[in-house]
Structure 1
Amino acid sequence: MKIFTMPISQPARALSWACAYEGTKVDEVQIMPGKDTRSEDYKKQGPIFAVPRLEEDGFILNESHAIMAYLGDRFNWKLYPKEPRTRARIHQYMNWHHQNTRRITLALFAPVMRPDIPLPQALVDLWMKEIKNTLQTVERWLSESTWICGSEPTVADLSCYCEIGQCLEKYTGLFAVHSIDLSAYPKINQWLTACEGLAGYEQSHAALKQCSVSFVFFLVLVAATPWKRVGPVWC
């Protein structure tokens, strides 16, 4: 069973973390989003040209949440419990995630690291304004329970952390760069620490830690250089 992945990708990192947490053995094949995912060979394998991707005996499945649900059912993951109401809460978060938590990455991370993706500045500005509402919603969830979906961690927590956690000072420092004060969300801070104590965290975040110094240097370079973003490129 292969997972095509890239550890700097948030959805791919969440999937790798879940597999490590559960002890699910997969062969991780690292590829570069954009360059490798648009190759003719990759395109032939499935209709979605992105990471992560699962390949198993001719079965191809894209999308991190779909893959985690599939593996969770197949291998009886504790992170994807079968109890109906807990499962419903997981699905609630995972549906909400795409238009909310995921936009933290689209607003802060993608404009710097993925200049190949054309993002209209007006749209990025809108997503920036929505970050506060997203964090407030996560804070409310965590005010009701230790984890997003109840008393135990689930795949929802891993997916959420990978979008929020990467913006911490020890990784990219993007919250500080954009003057987003995370101290206003005490429950989120407690939860971030709890997530970092989960099995598989260190393994799945090793690559992000390695590139954090280079990322901060790159941010300083961008800030000090009179570049502007025109469509999909910096110039």
Structure 2
Amino acid sequence: MDDCFKGFLDDSFDPTFNSINLPWLPWVGSRYYESDTKTIILGESVYVYGAGDETTRQRILHRESLRQRQMTHGILGKIKSRYLRNFERAVFLKTRPSGLERAHLWSHVIFHNLVLELLPSRKNRPTMRDYTAGWEAFLELAEVVQPQRCIVYGLESPKIEALQELLASRKMAIQKKRLPAVGRSRPVKLSIQINGRPLDLLFIRHPSAFFPWKKWGAFIREAGFNPLAVETHKIVERATTEPLPEPFTG
């Protein structure tokens, strides 16, 4: 493991991840394995950002790039990424979660993106084939890390339909429940079993935009999907003389 991730990332699953069609290695928090509520936070996709030149593309395509962003944007909070900040606000129900709270959250969960292809720009949308391939890899990933719950960013019908069709093709049972509206969005809950282990998936509005985090935070708690079993006021600060590690630049 690179020193920049020490204390925050669990790379013990990497040998198995190498056998799955994963262009980017998922972020696995260092305390995920000990969590009472093992949760995957499932983003959607990555597009070419910044200058958009070949150097940028190759940096994004680096297998560790998702982990680099999660460390730099998530735990260190060096970039104002709305999809991270809004979700953190929803989890802690506060405008400015502390660095300790950010580290506590992302150390206890897995973060992964569903779509396995790099999109040309933010204007491009994943295809049905993209979603299906992503769900195929997700099911393999879930067999390995054995989550109990998954919070899925985005309520697009093709995304949900792709999973339903894939499960039907494999004769896997699925229960679907459309939940009460949050603002103008209707979250969806799907319940499945993977090798006899139950897995609940909660589809929410993507937190990158038009995301009323107070409403979604209250809803996530009411639905029993708070990724942290320990409430904010129970997080105990541990004295340390070591600063947070610097982001990976290799």
Q: TM-score scaled by structure 2?
A: 0.30
Structure with the largest fraction of helix: 1
Structure with the largest fraction of strand: 2
Q: TM-score scaled by structure 1?
A: 0.31
Higher relative contact order (CA 8 A, sep 6+): 2
